[in-house]
Amino acid sequence: MTKSKIFLFLMLAFILGVGSGSFFDIASQAVLVVAIAAVSLVAVFYRRGSRILSFPIAFSAFLILAFSAGVLRYDASESLAKVLTNFNDVNANIQLLGYVNDEPEQLTNKQRLLLQIKEIRVPGNAIFTDEKVLVTSDLYPEFEYGDFVLAEGKLQSPKSFGDFDYAVYLAKESIFSLSYYPKITEIKQEDFLGAGPISGFESFKIYLFKNIFKVKKVFEESIERVVAEPNASFINGILLGTREGIPQNLKEAFNKTGTTHILAISGYNITIVGLYISSLFLFFMRRQKAFWLTVIAIILFTILTGASPSVIRAAIMGILVLLAYREGRFYDMTNSIVFAGVIMIALNPKILRFDVGFQLSFLATLGLIYLAPFLKEKLKKIPEFWSFKENFIATLSAQAMVLPIILYNFGSFSLVALPANVLILPVVPLTMFFGFLAGILGLVWSRLGEVVGLIAWLFSEYEILIVKLFS
Amino acid sequence: MHPNLRIIILGILSLFLVLAFLADAQNELGLKVYFLDVGQGDAIFIETQDKKQILVDGGPNNKVIQELGEVMPFWDRAIDLVILTHPDRDHITGLIEVLKRYKVKGIIETGIECDKPECLAWHDLKEKEEAIIILAKFGDSLTFDENTKLLILNPFKSVAGEKVSKINNTSAVVKLIFGDHSILLTGDIEAQVERKLVLAGVDIDSDYLKIPHHGSKTSTTEELLDKTSPLMAFISLGKNNPYGHPHQDIISRLEKRNIKYYRTDEVGTILLNCKLDLPCQIETQN
């Protein structure tokens, strides 16, 4: 057995462990005992060329170890300190002090704020903690990422509606409490009772992201000034993954036609964008240089979108696909992809079972790497027309891989997804390009931004029309 | 990319652009008044014959932005005049986003004191916008062209900077005149101001009436209807709103006088399209 095979199996054992941990309630102690037994077995008997400990046994011991590590990692993610849930569904107001820990999500008639709570105040007592609460409030006053706030109100447990398990959806982001329309006031860091509730590292993180989100917001608002709705929201969606401004009926049309993925930054669309960028760079420079510049572009893009975990995961997947395309050796990529998956799962084990986005991203990537070259070989004879064929192959291979997940999660599969995607995808990078240009120019000189915005409007209008037509 | 292909793309692009402009330009002429469907609140978009655009109130949320996207030409990123009848949430909220996204040239408001979060945001953005600000009072008027005129009928005297307990009654009441046609926009005024307008002999006689305060029973008195004597009325409100608007009494008052009325909660956005020397046409979304 080659070294890379051994590594692959160990990684798969870890993933299996996390999976088992998420589905079955396995006691940590039992797992620990098994793991320790496996370690001691290897430690005591392992010797090069040992007869007692043959390779298969040693290998099995390591597999058990990796599996146990997976189970333990999942269990650890479950046993986070949860103080706030004690106040859920209690009919009394409490005071929560913390900071806004994500970009406020502006919907048509309300906003959602993710608060990182550091301090809970109940009459005569203050409790220090570090948990999240998702707050729904009126559109105004507006808040920014990093604002210190005091929220006074009641807490609720998430309730599932219809088929959608809201509690599970939030749990993977470690949110277990909601608050609707509490009284929110901005405070200063000095108002916290705790000596230093926010650590140096956290302050730095807040400072950094505050500025990233500022840049992002300035850009988004520029697009909104130079392009009419709903196209402006659509362009912000494909450029930055913000889709809260898109009207509900249009969102449903995207869902029905299997094109929602262009509005979310997925590994798939980062790959497409990456391929376009690198072909642009290839005009001017050598392959090697173009590849690295594309990687840098993707990283900058990831930061601009706010570097949320899902975008980071997408970026990693996208870069891996680009790497595969560059090397032209698709079959060597297995380890890198599984390794990337393992890291992501190790950082947040909940995504394996609960994050549909992660599952889709991961499988679509596998499809692009393994299925696409195979299909390309089969469809050699069909001529290429303005990347239609390439998009057809990419769509087909990604869709084929994600089909089981989509069927399981959404219960339906869109037959029009293929034609809709093939018609839309060639225009997406153009829309992104002109949208980006319009946003930047709009900041410099609004008139010019508006003119370029017209072109972006036109491309986006075409895409919206196609989606409406097929839905 | 193939060089010919580039030319083809460019060609298709320009063709689309020309078509889009043509499609917008061949819109019917005349005055257009849209009662936008923004839920429980008011947002009225007016385009005069000379393509001057006026937005009266912005509704309770940001839906007005989507609605404006539908009724305004796609290349147009400016609004000539924004009127805030009074700074209640169901009138001001959407206007804040309008200020963020559109270049607004003029603003008419009453200027009463208000420290609600919406008012503070509105105030901040207004400072940045280089708009002419007019503090509304009775007697003010704006002439758009020889046929189009806007008169302000309430408040009777300027209330700028005042702290008011009944904000509804400070609502700017606006009468829009286009040739022989006239439209009365009443904000959220209540019986007290309606009586004042009638008693003071203000010329509120109009062909079309926006029912005040979303059809609340505290407004739309018999006197107002008699004096205005409208042909048609419009009620801007949300479906299943918690206030029970429109009140049954108001509906009966309209029906008793054979005044045809349209409700945004039933028919969506309503377009009142008037041409000189011709009766106005109504179009509804649903």
Q: Tell me the per-residue pLDDT of A73-87, one tens digit each, with 9 for 90 and over.
A: 888 877 666 788 888
pLDDT 10s digits, B111-162: 999 999 999 999 999 988 888 999 999 999 999 999 999 999 989 999 988 9
Percentage of the residues of chain A whose pLDDT score is greater than 90: 13
Contact check, Cβ <8 Å, A458/B13 = yes
The Cα B181–Cα B172 span in angstroms is 20
Do residues A29 and A37 lie in contact, with contact meaning Cβ atoms separated by under 8 Å? no
- In angstroms, what CA-CA distances link A448 with A70, A310, A441, B99? 55, 34, 6, 20
Q: Using 50, 70 and 90 to split pLDDT, how confident is the model at A172?
A: confident
Please tell me which residue, B95 or A190, carries the higher pLDDT value.
B95
The candidate with the shortest Cα–Cα distance to B173, out of A406, A12, B145, B200, is: B200
Residue of B nearest to A220 (CA): B101
The Cα B207–Cα A107 span in angstroms is 38
Rg of chain B on CA atoms, in Å? 20
Task: Indicate the average pLDDT of chain A.
Answer: 82
Q: Using 50, 70 and 90 to split pLDDT, how confident is the model at A446?
A: confident
pLDDT value at A424 more than 90: no
Q: Which of A105, A107, A109 would you mutate first to test chain B, the one with the most B CBs within 10 A?
A: A109
Q: How far is B175 from chain A (nearest CA, A)?
A: 29
Residue of A nearest to B62 (CA): A108
pLDDT value at A59 more than 90: no
Contact check, Cβ <8 Å, A140/B121 = yes
Cα angle at B104 between B103 and B106, to 5 degrees? Answer: 155
The Cα A172–Cα A317 span in angstroms is 20
For residue B61 the two structure tokens come to 């949320």
Please tell me which residue, A418 or A342, carries the higher pLDDT value.
A342
Q: Using 50, 70 and 90 to split pLDDT, how confident is the model at B230?
A: very high
Q: From chain A, pick out residues whose CB is under 8 angstroms from the CB of B103.
A: 446
Number of neighbouring beta carbons within 10 Å of residue A311: 24
The crossing angle, in degrees rounded to 10, of helices A417-424 and A388-410 is 140
The candidate with the shortest Cα–Cα distance to A276, out of A96, A396, A461, A436, is: A436
Q: How far is A233 from chain B (nearest CA, A)?
A: 10
Q: What is the pTM of this model?
A: 0.80
**pLDDT on residue A287:** 77
Task: Indicate the average pLDDT of chain B.
Answer: 90
Residue of A nearest to B3 (CA): A386
End-to-end CA distance of chain B: 46
Highest mean pLDDT among A227-231, B22-26, B93-97 belongs to B93-97
A142 touches chain B (CB under 8 A): yes
Contact check, Cβ <8 Å, A386/B1 = yes
Helices (H), B201-279: 222-228, 248-256, 264-267
Which candidate from A141, A224, A228 shows the least CB-CB separation from B121? Answer: A141
Q: From chain A, pick out residues whose CB is under 8 angstroms from the CB of B65.
A: 229
Weakest-pLDDT range from A28-42, A270-284, B244-258 = A270-284
For residue B14 the two structure tokens come to 């320009």
pLDDT value at B15 more than 90: no
- In angstroms, what CA-CA distances link A255 with A51, A63, A412, A470? 60, 41, 10, 11
What is the complex's ipTM, to 2 decimals?
0.81
Q: Using 50, 70 and 90 to split pLDDT, how confident is the model at A28?
A: confident
Which candidate from A108, A231, A450 shows the least CB-CB separation from B61? Answer: A108
Q: How far is A353 from chain B (nearest CA, A)?
A: 36
- The stretch A194-220 carries a mean pLDDT of 81
Q: How far is A5 from chain B (nearest CA, A)?
A: 41
Helices (H), A283-416: 287-304, 309-327, 334-347, 350-354, 356-366, 372-378, 388-410
The candidate with the shortest Cα–Cα distance to A16, out of A79, A73, A59, is: A73
Residue with tokens 């009926």: A249
Q: From chain B, pick out residues whose CB is under 8 angstroms from the CB of A446.
A: 77, 103
Number of neighbouring beta carbons within 10 Å of residue B49: 19
Q: Which of A107, A110, A139 would you mutate first to test chain B, the one with the most B CBs within 10 A?
A: A139
Do residues B226 and B205 lie in contact, with contact meaning Cβ atoms separated by under 8 Å? no
The torsion region of residue A321 among left (phi > 0), alpha (psi -120 to 50) and beta comes to alpha
Highest mean pLDDT among A46-60, A353-367, B211-225 belongs to B211-225
- The stretch A99-103 carries a mean pLDDT of 90
- The stretch B213-217 carries a mean pLDDT of 93
Q: Which helix (H) or strand (E) holds A149?
A: strand A148-153
- The stretch A456-471 carries a mean pLDDT of 88
Q: From chain B, pick out residues whose CB is under 8 angstroms from the CB of A110.
A: 61
The contacts of residue A403 (CB under 8 Å, 6+ apart) are A413
Q: Using 50, 70 and 90 to split pLDDT, how confident is the model at A410?
A: low
- Helix, strand and coil content of chain A, in percent to the nearest 5, comes to 65, 10, 25
- The stretch A94-122 carries a mean pLDDT of 90
pLDDT 10s digits, A131-171: 899 999 999 999 999 999 999 999 999 988 776 778 888 88
For residue A248 the two structure tokens come to 């509900």
Number of neighbouring beta carbons within 10 Å of residue B141: 10
* Cis peptide preceding A230, ω within 30 of 0: yes
Q: Using 50, 70 and 90 to split pLDDT, how confident is the model at B25?
A: low
